[in-house]
Amino acid sequence: MFAGSPALNQPGPTEFVFHVFTAVPEFQVLLFLLFLLLYLMILCGNTAIIWVRAHSSLRTTMYFFLSYLSFVEIVYTTVVVLLMLSNILGAQKPIPLAGCGAQMFFFVTLGSTDCFLLAVMAYVRYVAICHPLHYTLVMTQKLCVQMVVCAVSLAPFLSLQLTSLILTLPFCGHRREINHFLCDVPPVLRLACADIRVHQAVLYVVGIVVLTVPFLLICVSYVFITCAILRIRSAEGRRRAFTCSSHLTVVLLHYFHCTLVYLRPQSSSSQDEDLQFALIYTFVTPLINPLIYTLRNKDVKGALIKSISSKGTGEAL
C-alpha cells in the first residue's frame, strides 16, 4: 500500500532530525546549561564511586557491582547528551539511519545492562542482610564476574535483535522529525510506513526480559530484606533500612517510567509523555543513584576524602 506513495519514493537516504525543545534562543541557552550541568553532576558522581572503588579499601562485592553500574551510567548518559546538546543550540542537524540505529543500539544495550545490574545488586543485598554468615561463601569473586558477564552479554544480544529489526522498516519521506531528543525505539517506530505489529511484539518481549523479570526479582529480594530488617532493633538496622529504602525508591522510579514508555500500548501512549519519562530515566536516576552512595554513605565519603587528601599530600611531598 506504500509502494505508490510519493513520500516513500523520495530519493536519497533516510535521515532523521530531532525535535527541538524550544525555538526561543534564550530558552535554548537555559536548557543547554541545565542539561550540561546535570551531565557534569552525573559524570562527577559516578566517577567518584569508580575512583573510591579503585583507590580505597572499599572492595566489597556491592562496590564491585556499583562501580560497574556507575561506568554504565556514565556511558549511557553520554550516548544521549552529546548529540542532544548540539541539537539544542544549533540548527536541526540530520542524523542518517545508520547513525540513528547506532545510538538506539547503544542506548538500549546500556539501559538493559543498567536494569540487569540493579537486579543483581538487589540479590547481593539480600544475601548480605538475610544470610550474612554465608555471604562470603555465596558471593565469590567467580560468581560476581559471571553475573557481570551475563549482564553485559545478554543486553547487547537483545538490543541487536530489536535494533536490526527496526532498521529494516521503510520510513516515509527522505527526512523525518523524531519527536524526541534521541533515537529511542517507540518514537522511531511511530515514523514507520509499514505494519509494526511484529516489531511491537518483539519490543514487548524484550521489555519483559529487561524490565519485568529484573523488577520482580528486585521486589522479591526486598520483601525478604524488609522482613530481615524489621527483626533488627538497633541503630544499624535503622541505617540499613534507610539506605535500602533510598535505593529502592530510585529503582522504582527507574523501572516505573521505563515500563510506561516501553510496555504501554502505543494507542494509549503520548509522545510528549514518553519524552518526559525519558528525561527521568536518562538524567534523574543516573544522578540520584550515586548521591545515595556518596552523600548518604559515610564509608564512601570517608574513603573519598581519604583518597583525595592522601593524593594531595603525595603531590605536596
What average pLDDT does this structure show over 15-29? Answer: 80
What DSSP line would sit under 173-198, residue for residue? SSEEEESSSS--HHHHHTTBSS--HH
Quickly state the pLDDT bin for 10 (edges 50, 70, 90): very low
Place of cell 522504582: 252
pLDDT the model gives residue 220: 92
pLDDT the model gives residue 269: 60
pLDDT over 70 at 309, yes or no: no
Strand order across the beta sheet in which 175-178 lies: 95-96, 15-18, 175-178
pLDDT the model gives residue 9: 44
pLDDT the model gives residue 275: 83
pLDDT the model gives residue 247: 72
pLDDT over 90 at 267, yes or no: no
Answer with the residue of higher pLDDT: 176 or 146: 146
Tally the domains of the chain: 1
pLDDT tens digits, one per residue of 77-104: 999 998 888 888 766 678 898 999 999 9
pLDDT over 80 at 233, yes or no: no
pLDDT over 60 at 214, yes or no: yes
Going by C-alpha positions, the residue among 302, 141, 109 that lies closest to residue 206 is 109
State which residues form the domain around 146. 15-302
> Is the residue at 88 inside a domain?
yes
pLDDT over 70 at 234, yes or no: no
What average pLDDT does this structure show over 189-199? Answer: 87
pLDDT the model gives residue 164: 92
pLDDT tens digits, one per residue of 31-73: 899 999 999 999 988 888 888 777 666 667 777 888 899 999 9
Q: Per mean pLDDT, which range of 25-29, 242-246, 254-258, 259-263 is the poorest?
A: 242-246
> Is the residue at 314 inside a domain?
no
> Is the residue at 3 inside a domain?
no
User: In Å, how far are 304, 311, 312 from 315, measured between CA atoms?
Assistant: 17, 6, 5
Q: Per mean pLDDT, which range of 105-119, 139-153, 252-266 is the poorest?
A: 252-266
> Is the residue at 264 inside a domain?
yes
Place of cell 547528551: 81
Please measure the distance between the N-terminal and C-terminal CA atoms of the chain and give it in whole angstroms: 76
pLDDT over 60 at 1, yes or no: no
> Is the residue at 309 inside a domain?
no
Quickly state the pLDDT bin for 239 (edges 50, 70, 90): low
d(CA 210, CA 118): 11
What average pLDDT does this structure show over 267-286? Answer: 79
SS3 (DSSP) at 172: coil
What average pLDDT does this structure show over 237-262? Answer: 75
Across the chain, mean pLDDT equals 81
pLDDT the model gives residue 57: 62
pLDDT the model gives residue 317: 43
pTM score of the predicted model = 0.85
CATH of the domain at 275: 1.20.1070.10
> Is the residue at 2 inside a domain?
no
> Is the residue at 9 inside a domain?
no
What average pLDDT does this structure show over 255-270? Answer: 77
